[in-house]
Amino acid sequence: MCFIVSSLMTLFDSYAASEPLIEFLEKFLHSVIATKVFHCEIFEVADIEYSLNMLKNGRSPGFDDLNKQQFSFCHPSIFVHLRFLFNMIYTHGFVPDDFGKDVTVPVPKDKHGNLSNVDNYRPITISPIVSKMFEYGILEKAKFIIFVL
């Protein structure tokens, strides 16, 4: 179970009504933050492998020059490092700036049409593969919530 959830369960078990709840929560959070590291493990290595398998083969690499084939043939320890990264992103609610960097490329709609006409193009956006893997991982974890709504 996540450290935060277990800490909150312990917290409410020990709450005494003589003290205002807000003050009690503030004291608790300050003591926990000062002594413990908040960390939730929601991603496993299998989740990282699943998100890699969700990507299509033969796609162009993003600005980082990484593609699916490189991750498919890399050492398995990379998945352990990605699991750690994804769990840290989830735990701290902070996504690296490079996850938002992408390359937008104009692609002709009709190759035999007028290539000098702007209306003959559609944009495609190439995102970094690690951010795509994270998105697939989050989507898989949140799938039950999405389908309920």
- What are the domain boundaries of the chain? 3-35, 45-148
What is the C-alpha to C-alpha distance for residues 116 and 136, in angstroms, rounded to an integer?
Answer: 37
Higher pLDDT, 76 or 29: 76
User: In angstroms, rounded to a whole number, what is the distance separating the alpha carbons of residues 62 and 23?
Assistant: 48
Q: How confident is the model at residue 133 (pLDDT cuts 50, 70, 90)?
A: very high
Whole-prediction pTM value? 0.66
pLDDT of amino acid 1: 47
The answer to whether residue 21 scores a pLDDT higher than 70 is no
Report the DSSP pairing between strands 121-126 and 103-108: antiparallel
Q: How many DSSP H helices and E strands does the chain contain?
A: 7, 2
Q: What pLDDT, on a 0 to 100 scale, did the predictor assign at position 62? A: 79
Q: Does residue 28 surpass a pLDDT of 70? A: no
Low-confidence winner among 21-25, 34-38, 124-128 (lowest mean pLDDT): 34-38
State residue 125 phi and psi, 5-degree precision. Answer: -115, 130
pLDDT band at 114, cuts 50/70/90?
confident
pLDDT of 120 > 50? The answer is yes
Average pLDDT, the chain: 80
Mutual angle of helices 45-54 and 129-141, in 10-degree steps:
110
Q: What is the pLDDT of residue 33?
A: 53
Q: Percent of the chain at pLDDT above 70?
A: 69
